[in-house]
Amino acid sequence: MQSSRETWLVDVAATPVAVRVLPPGPMEVAVSGPAVSTPAPEEDAPASPDPMISLKDVRKVYRLRGGAQVRALDGLSLDVAPGTIHGIVGTSGAGKSTLVRCLTSLERPTQGRIRVAGQDMTSLSARQLREARRRIGMVFQHANLLDQRTTAQNIAYPLALAGVPRGQRRQTVERMLELVGLADRGASYPAQLSGGQKQRVGIARALADDPSVLLCDEPTSALDPETTRSILDLIRDVRDALGLTVIIITHEMSVVRQVCDAVSLLEAGRVVEGGRLEDVVLDTSSRLSREVVPLPAVPEAARSQGDAVLDVCVTAHPGEPAAVALMSMVAELGGDIASGVFETVGAAQIGRLAVTVPATQASRCVTALRQAGITAEVRA
Ligand SMILES: Nc1ncnc2c1ncn2[C@@H]1O[C@H](COP(=O)(O)OP(=O)(O)OP(=O)(O)O)[C@@H](O)[C@H]1O
Ligand SMILES: [Mg+2]
């Protein structure tokens, strides 16, 4: 047994393996096989377009009674590319809602610059600000519909406030109802709608005035998983149909996985990690990577006495299966997969496996896996 494992270790180190895998650290390396679709280096990439939303060194200080200060935003910088769905995650109190309020100028930042669709939101007059706000649709956790008004009247409400003529309002409402899949429910009252349908109405209302940006603050937190999925599909569909730029504030990593193109981690009022979702997840040294696709838990019962647990990360792309190759390596090693997850993120399949091996072999196995280009470390 020992000798066959040693043979395997030598083999793995010496033999090209037909998987695309990650070494420790942020750099991707393809160990063998055809050229892989590693993102092109900057020099070949087309110049990125101007961001639709740009925050530079934004600070927001709240002054409490008694003189104490709360630094809700503390030098936050963030760019959101046009047409992307950008997730913002962070623990409670990190400043997510303050960020949304500053973006819509419901709050003025204490310092810093905020641009939305090319406009400097911090230098607008009250009238210009009202106009600029019409370019930003808002969706909240609860749709907050007016109970005494029908679905159609709820959607028409912001248009009426903005002075849109009645005939045009009716046309827009019909279009919006169609867009969110509620064409036959215009006459229903909120009490006659499910939670997911109410949120659809909330989205229709946010989109009625033809915004270029949609800000969603915990849009699915009050919904069950299936309804969440359908609302996220809707958000992606309307982004595709209308070319919107979307920010989704969420504490649900499944939301980030399902719908976001990019993600930023907010902590104590600033962005501490972020980037394109696929890049973030591939950088297994990042906290976001482990939050978006967490390491699997290993129940005590799945671990024999004297076993160590190795955290192993693999990445595959269409046509480059990695999971099967890794599983056969683990089998050769005499180890076992105690638990694991595979998630599709963009075009990549991300696998996180907890592999159990005899503790005496752990560091040698890690070395061998790393030599084969696989991210592996002994779990503390
Ligand atoms: N109006 C206010 N006056 C004083 N402090 C405030 C005010 N609004 C927010 N804060 C403080 O600013 C910090 C950030 O709050 P914020 O509501 O932006 O957090 P959050 O990330 O949205 O949290 P959650 O996930 O719980 O919604 C917190 O410490 C909060 O107490
Ligand atoms: Mg909040």
Measured CA to CA, the distance from residue 333 to residue 11 in angstroms comes to 11
3 state DSSP class of 196: helix
Among all bound ligands, the one having the nearest atom to the CA of 94 is 1
Per residue in 210-247, pLDDT (tens digit) is 999 999 999 999 999 999 999 999 999 999 999 999 99
Closest C-alpha among 246, 169, 257 to residue 203: 246
Q: Of the ranges 133-137, 188-192, 325-329, which is most confident?
A: 188-192
Identity of residue 87 = G
* CATH tag, 53-282: 3.40.50.300
Closest C-alpha among 209, 208, 201, 205 to residue 185: 201
Q: Is the beta carbon of 98 within 6 A of some atom in ligand 1?
A: yes
Q: Is the beta carbon of 72 within 6 A of some atom in ligand 1?
A: yes
Closest C-alpha among 156, 213, 207 to residue 186: 156
Judge whether 2-26+295-378 and 53-282 match in fold.
Answer: no
Average pLDDT over residues 11-23: 35
Atom of ligand 1 nearest to the CA of 249: 22
Per residue in 305-320, pLDDT (tens digit) is 888 999 998 888 777 7
Backbone torsions φ then ψ of 377, nearest 5 degrees: -150, 155
CATH 3.50.4 fits 2-26+295-378, yes or no: no
Q: Cβ(262)–Cβ(86) under 8 Å?
A: yes
Atom of ligand 1 nearest to the CA of 60: 12
- In the predicted structure, residue 322 carries a pLDDT above the cut 80: no
| From 70, 217, 251, mutation site for ligand 1 pocket: most ligand atoms within 8 A of C-beta | 70
Measured CA to CA, the distance from residue 331 to residue 67 in angstroms comes to 64
3 state DSSP class of 66: coil
Distance 115 CA to ligand 1 centre (A): 22
pLDDT at 43: 53
Distance 344 CA to ligand 1 centre (A): 33
| 255 backbone φψ class: left, alpha, beta (φ>0; ψ -120 to 50) | alpha
pLDDT at 47: 67
Residue 379 gets which letter from DSSP? -
Distance 99 CA to ligand 1 centre (A): 10
Q: What is the pTM of this model?
A: 0.81
pLDDT at 295: 86
Q: Is the beta carbon of 96 within 6 A of some atom in ligand 1?
A: yes
Average pLDDT over residues 144-151: 96
* Percent of the chain topping pLDDT 70: 87
**Sign of the alpha-carbon torsion through 234, 239, 244, 249:** positive
Per residue in 278-287, pLDDT (tens digit) is 889 888 788 9
- In the predicted structure, residue 4 carries a pLDDT above the cut 50: no
Average pLDDT over residues 110-120: 93
Q: Is the beta carbon of 70 within 6 A of some atom in ligand 1?
A: yes
Measured CA to CA, the distance from residue 187 to residue 214 in angstroms comes to 25
Distance 91 CA to ligand 2 centre (A): 9
Q: How far apart are the first and last CA of the chain?
A: 26
Taking ligand 2, which is a single-atom ion, which protein residues have CB atoms under 5 Å away? 96-97
User: Domain limits of the chain?
Assistant: 2-26+295-378, 53-282
